Each structure stands twice: as C-alpha cells, then as structure tokens.
Amino acid sequence: MAHPDELEALTKAFSGHGIHEQSLISILGKWQPEEKKSFRKGSPHLFIEDERNFERWDDHCVRLLKHEFMRFKNAVVLWTTHPWERDARLAKKALKKGPESYGILIEIACTRSADELLGARRAYHSLFDHSIEEDVASHINGSERKLFVALLSAYRYEGSKIKEDAAKSEANTLSNAIKDADKKKPIEDDEVIRILTTRSKPHLQAIYKYYKEISGKNIDEELDVDMRLKETVQCLCNPQKYFSKVLNTALTKDADKKIKKALTRVIVTRADTDMKEIKEEYNSQFGAPLSKKIEDTTNGNYKDFLLTLIARGG
C-alpha cells in the first residue's frame, strides 16, 4: 500500500500551476502494482470507480493535467520566441478565442513601444498573410472595432515633450464623456478614441494627472462603465498596476486554465522590461512578494523557471 506521505506528496505534485516532476519520478518510479492501485483508490479527485470494477482516470482531470504538464514547455517556447512573433501569435490566438481574450490585444497595443508594436504587425503579416488590423476588423464588431483597430495601428511619439494646455483640455473632454455615459457611451465618442489612440504615453500620463485634479478620482476608477477603455487607460498610464492585478488573478488556486495562462504570458513578456516595477507594485497592492506567491502556488520546473525570470530585473 502507498505510504500516506507519498500520497500527500503526489496530490501536491498534481495541484496548482505546473507539475512537480521530481516527486513523480521519485515516487511513481519505484511503486509496485499494489501501491499504484492504492493511489488510484485513494485519489477520487483523479480517478472514477468504473461499473466494471476498476478505477479509471477522470477524463476532465486528464485534460487539466495535460495543460499543467505543458506549462513549462509553453513558457520556454514563449521565452525563446522573437518578441515580434510572440506578440503576433498571442494576438492571433486572442482573436481566435473570442471576446474573453480581447484584453490581450489591448495589452499588446498599449504596453509595447512604437517599434515593438510595428514589429508585431510585420510579424503578423509574415505569419498569417493578413494584417492584424484586417483580422481585428473582421472579428470585432460595433464600437469596440474602432478602438481596437486604432490602438493596434498606432505609432506613438515617444519623446518627453508634453503640451500641457492640450493635456488639461483633453482631461476635461474625457471627464465630460464619462459624466455623460448614460447618454452616449465613451467608447462611441470619437474624441475619446482619438485621445487614447494617438497621444504619447507621457502626454496621457499628464491627462491622467489633470483628470484627477478635475474629478478627484483616477480616470480608470471611473471607467467601470466600459472595461475595454478601463484596460486601455491602465495599460497606457499604469501598466505595472494592470499587470499586478492580472498576475494575482492568475495565481489564484482555483483559477481556470484560461486565466492561469496569463501567468506565463505576463512574466515572459515583461521579464526584460519592467518586472522590477511590477514586483514593487504587486507587493504594494497585495502585501506579499510576487516571488512568495509564485513559490506557494506553482510547482516543479515551471515554478523554477518563473522564479528565475522574475529575478532577472533585480
């Protein structure tokens, strides 16, 4: 019969994000048939008692385990992929999966530099024989289409010059649009779209500051009326806050497999960019180091790889 400590170790190895491969090798590799049988009998969360008197894998659990075994491989592949190709493939997959994944398009459009976004668009041409704008326009309808196409077509000025008078005026424009949301959705306002999709990030951060002076609140706090615009503003003006929230949601023990994928995506794409700032923001928001949360939630080679990546930025 399998030892209780070994059963507990295996349960932990199969739980969370990723798989603890070393536990599987050291425990399963030495087990005899009776010990494997007792494992099946003692693991009703993994095995189902068949009517023909044998324990069979729960098909749902097999599918979940398949995803967990692949997390390390997917992280390594994503890490070693050229950033342009990586973003192009992430965008293509987001479009294929539908509205629940469209936030990834905002993430790519708003947190990359002008040249990085242009590179992703070039890679998309090469990989899929379409422009990303063409595919976005064919998948996304209504008022969101204009926002997404404009965001992904942008080539923003990246200098430090800011037109203060224009920033104040545009903060007022955004404030009025949000106040009138019950009459006209802000996402349907051409001036709102123009400001968010053409202005430089330093200019938008100035707008963010002036907006708070006008309304007493941060603009993203008042954009719960439109989550697409809220995500856009956060990614443009405070990406570390945005990424910290995405990571914390992905690190929830009972997060579904789609939400868990964000953990790999964010750490891989930000490890060489602003991971130090994300870690600081995460600690500030959630009162615990990001490394500790990863240590407690993830397993095996996947955990070790993520911890290595987030340690790169100091």
Residue 254: count other Cβ atoms within 10 Å of its Cβ.
Answer: 5
Q: Considering the domain boundaries, does residue 50 fall inside one? A: yes
Same-domain pairing of 166 and 128: no
Q: Considering the domain boundaries, does residue 139 fall inside one? A: yes
Same-domain pairing of 164 and 233: yes
The overall average pLDDT reported for the chain is 93
Of 103, 107, 76, which is closest to residue 240 (Cα–Cα)?
107
pLDDT in tens, 225-261: 799 999 999 999 999 999 999 999 999 988 888 899 9
Same-domain pairing of 50 and 89: no
Q: What is the pLDDT of residue 199?
A: 98
Q: Considering the domain boundaries, does residue 63 fall inside one? A: no
pLDDT in tens, 159-200: 999 999 999 999 999 999 999 999 999 999 999 999 999 999
Domain count, the chain: 4
Is residue 313 over pLDDT 70?
A: no
Dihedral, CA of residue 225, residue 283, residue 108 and residue 98, to nearest 10: -60
Q: What is the pLDDT of residue 117?
A: 98
Same-domain pairing of 200 and 249: no
Is residue 284 over pLDDT 90?
A: yes
Is residue 281 over pLDDT 90?
A: yes
Q: Considering the domain boundaries, does residue 19 fall inside one? A: yes
Q: Considering the domain boundaries, does residue 266 fall inside one? A: yes
What is the phi-psi region of residue 68: left when phi exceeds 0, alpha when psi lies from -120 to 50, beta otherwise? alpha
Same-domain pairing of 140 and 165: no
Q: Considering the domain boundaries, does residue 230 fall inside one? A: yes
Residue 311: count other Cβ atoms within 10 Å of its Cβ.
Answer: 12
Same-domain pairing of 139 and 165: no
Same-domain pairing of 253 and 306: yes
Q: What is the pLDDT of residue 4?
A: 74
Quick one: what percent of the chain has pLDDT higher than 90?
76
DSSP, collapsed to helix, strand or coil, labels residue 292 as: helix
Per-residue confidence band for 30, with pLDDT thresholds at 50, 70 and 90 = confident
Q: Considering the domain boundaries, does residue 78 fall inside one? A: no
pLDDT in tens, 119-164: 999 999 999 999 999 999 999 998 999 999 999 999 999 999 999 9
Domain that holds residue 10: 4-57
Same-domain pairing of 89 and 150: yes
Same-domain pairing of 175 and 219: yes
Are the beta carbons of 192 and 219 closer than 8 angstroms? no
- Which of 237, 266, 286 is a domain's end point? 237
Q: What is the pLDDT of residue 1?
A: 64
Of 18, 11, 24, which is closest to residue 298 (Cα–Cα)?
18
Is residue 294 over pLDDT 80?
A: yes
User: The domain spanning residue 161 has which CATH number?
Assistant: 1.10.220.10
Of 190, 195, 215, which is closest to residue 205 (Cα–Cα)?
195
Are the beta carbons of 248 and 282 closer than 8 angstroms? yes
- Which of 177, 204, 237 is a domain's end point? 237
Are the beta carbons of 244 and 286 closer than 8 angstroms? yes
Is residue 5 over pLDDT 90?
A: no
pLDDT in tens, 214-225: 999 999 999 987
Same-domain pairing of 137 and 91: yes
pTM above threshold 0.85: yes
Same-domain pairing of 42 and 12: yes
pLDDT in tens, 92-120: 999 999 999 999 999 999 999 999 999 99
Is residue 26 over pLDDT 80?
A: yes
Q: Considering the domain boundaries, does residue 74 fall inside one? A: no
Q: What is the pLDDT of residue 39?
A: 84
